Amino acid sequence: MLSVKAPTAIPKLQDYDISPLTGFLPPEGPLRRLPGTYFEPWEDIMDQISALLLCGRFRARVNKLEILDVDRLVNLREQQRAFVVLCFLSHAYVWGKNEPISQSLPPCLAVPIVKVSEQLGINPIGCNASQVVWNWRLMDPSEPISLDNIGALHTFTGSTDEAWFYLVTVGIEAHGGRALAAMVNSMTAVREGDEARVACCLQDIDSSIQDINRTLKTMYDKCDPYLFYWKIRPYLAGWENMSEAGLPHGVLYQGVDARDQFRQYAGGSAGQSSLIQAFDIALGIAHYPTSDQWRCIKDEEKRRAAQGLPKTKPSHTTYLYGMRSHMPGLHRRFLEDLTKAANLRPYVDSVQGDCARWYNRCVAGLKKFRDLHIQIVTRYIVLPARKGPSIGSFSFGTSHPDALSDSEAPSTEKANAPSRLQVKVKTSDVPEDPLKSPRLRASSPTSKSGDILYPQLMHADRIGHPIASQPPLGEHGIAKTLLDPSSEIIRGTGGTDLMPFLKQVRDETTDSLIRP
Ligand code: HEM
């Protein structure tokens, strides 16, 4: 007998700690401090994190902590706050400042971070949730979330550039409320065959994407690419593929794992934003593994076949899918349930008309987001990596006058670079920097030397020229995306093969446009 499958329920936002007003951001704002005195020792260190790093006392202070019991946290907001605190403390502990990196986390950090991560269903390492989603506050609580009414709760460096880097993403996430509500409404409207309502929801999604794109462009206003690359990004790095930075095995979570069981996790990235993945899912945009990932998949498939296990699904092997383990469990579950219920694209394809027009506007908007993002990655990672440590600061402060135009984005490159460890970026793929200045160029005497591979080993002489210092590799090793000018290879920080990956994702977005 044929069994008729009941249609999958359309997810209700409130079941997943999602607000129709603020999306994945907690609508009342994240908890700013854990209540009571028990967790005060953590909060006291958080109050002074950048000062303690600067004066070299951070690790000593942390080492005096006792192991606190996270079972004392009484609700979700407290668990989220504890997670933020423990992620900041752990990254600061591992990467330090002007001191040898640490290949292990002490039990006072490792034990509670592993436990609270299990409670939240997320990996025990810094991520978009700890740096962005649960790391902001309203300056005037009577006003809504907007870039001129939010502040970051914590930064590593104490700099406004770092705060802005997080806050722009908060601003983007805030547009998610309206978009997520429209996504689930559109799915209900499809089931009811209500074409006009579907078109209306798509219009709402489109307008949220336009808002997101406007917000993304403000990154240039108050976050200096040079400071981002050399001072901020190192703290965001994870412990996966970090041999060059001094973490050949990853990080040992003392008091949790056996003495030789190091853990490897990718670091924080807005690639872990549940919102952007929700757009892909709702609009039916499919992503595929990069060519190098396919090689790994083939090996994995061989292994599974040898063990008589079923094949894995291609979508479950992409970088974007992998990033879901760095999302809060409830948000990840939302994406899974949204995937099961997604019905928009085939419906729009069948009815065409206004629905198709608005659908295509949404896809074009998301493609625009990815173009803008590629320009940002070029400006904030590729160019600083090429230029070396003494290029000085880019000018900023007005609305991205120096933003690369769409046509200046790096040219399409075959998506066949090795995944994770290495990225080849041809010099010709990187747009000429519109801010090129003979003075800045002249002040990079060592940028042609291999020293740039380990920029953290460089200090400036009295007139600002970088000179290499001598500590062995890994001693002061902090993660960077690294460029070896002789081989023109940029090595990733454990994330992706940057440009080929980002372009592939962008092109896959365009592929889903509906043809009449
Ligand atoms: C200075 C600013 C930024 C830099 C340097 C940057 C860098 C990167 C890099 C290197 C990746 C590749 C994956 C990885 O290794 O993590 C990535 C992916 C990604 N980033 Fe950013 N990012 C920035 C800002 C943002 C913002 C504000 C958003 C907004 C949510 C965002 C959303 C994404 C998404 C969604 C991906 C996954 C690829 C995709 O879906 O297109 N990024 N980013």
ipTM of the shown complex: 0.98
**Residue 239 CB less than 6 A away from ligand 1:** no
Q: What is the DSSP letter of 409?
A: S
**Residue 505 CB less than 6 A away from ligand 1:** yes
Distance (Å, whole) CA 327 – CA 286: 20
Residues 136/153, Cβ–Cβ less than 8 Å: yes
Residues 147/218, Cβ–Cβ less than 8 Å: yes
Rounded to the nearest whole angstrom, what is the distance from the C-alpha of residue 9 to the centroid of ligand 1? 31
Q: Given this model, what pLDDT does residue 139 score?
A: 98
Structure tokens at 253: 């979570």
Distance (Å, whole) CA 245 – CA 237: 10
The amino acid that residue 109 corresponds to is L
5 pairs with which residues across the strands? none
Residues 17/26, Cβ–Cβ less than 8 Å: yes
What's the number of CA atoms in the CB half-sphere (13 Å) around residue 392?
Answer: 16
**Residue 172 CB less than 6 A away from ligand 1:** yes
Rounded to the nearest whole angstrom, what is the distance from the C-alpha of residue 381 to the centroid of ligand 1? 11
Q: 373, 404, 481, 490: which to mutate for ligand 1, most atoms within 8 A of CB?
A: 373
Q: CA angle, 424 as apex, 421 and 425 as ends, to 5°?
A: 135
Cut 0.95: pTM above it: no
Kind plus residue range of the DSSP H or E element containing 151? strand 150-152
Task: Per residue of the chain (516 residues), give pLDDT as tens.
Answer: 445 566 789 999 999 999 999 999 999 999 999 999 999 999 999 999 999 999 999 999 999 999 999 999 999 999 999 999 999 999 999 999 988 999 999 999 999 999 999 999 999 999 999 999 999 999 999 999 999 999 999 999 999 999 999 999 999 999 999 999 999 999 999 999 999 999 999 999 999 999 999 999 999 999 999 999 999 999 999 999 888 889 999 999 999 999 889 999 999 999 999 999 999 999 999 998 876 665 566 666 667 677 777 665 555 668 899 999 999 999 999 999 999 999 999 999 999 999 999 999 999 999 999 999 999 999 999 999 888 775 444 433 333 433 444 333 333 332 222 222 222 333 333 333 322 322 222 222 223 322 233 333 333 323 333 333 333 233 333 344 444 444 444 544 444 578 888 999 999 999 999 998
Phi, psi of 115 (to 5 degrees): -70, -45
**Residue 374 CB less than 6 A away from ligand 1:** no
Q: Given this model, what pLDDT does residue 294 score?
A: 59
Residues 495/320, Cβ–Cβ less than 8 Å: no
Give the E-state strand segments of 180-276 in sequence order: 251-253, 262-263
Distance (Å, whole) CA 270 – CA 90: 19
**Residue 425 CB less than 6 A away from ligand 1:** no
257 pairs with which residues across the strands? none
Ligand 1 atom at minimal distance to the Cα of residue 225: 1
Displacement of CA 350 from its chain's centroid (Å): 36
Strands of the 251-253 sheet, one edge to the other: 104-105, 251-253, 262-263
Residues 446/468, Cβ–Cβ less than 8 Å: yes
Question: What residue spans of 16-142 are helical by DSSP H?
Answer: 40-47, 49-54, 58-63, 76-95, 107-120, 128
Ligand 1 atom at minimal distance to the Cα of residue 381: 5
Distance (Å, whole) CA 190 – CA 194: 6
**Residue 366 CB less than 6 A away from ligand 1:** no
Q: Given this model, what pLDDT does residue 17 score?
A: 98
Kind plus residue range of the DSSP H or E element containing 356? helix 353-377
Residues 145/171, Cβ–Cβ less than 8 Å: yes
Q: Given this model, what pLDDT does residue 488 score?
A: 47
Structure tokens at 310: 């079923």
Ligand 1 atom at minimal distance to the Cα of residue 269: 16
Structure tokens at 141: 């609580």
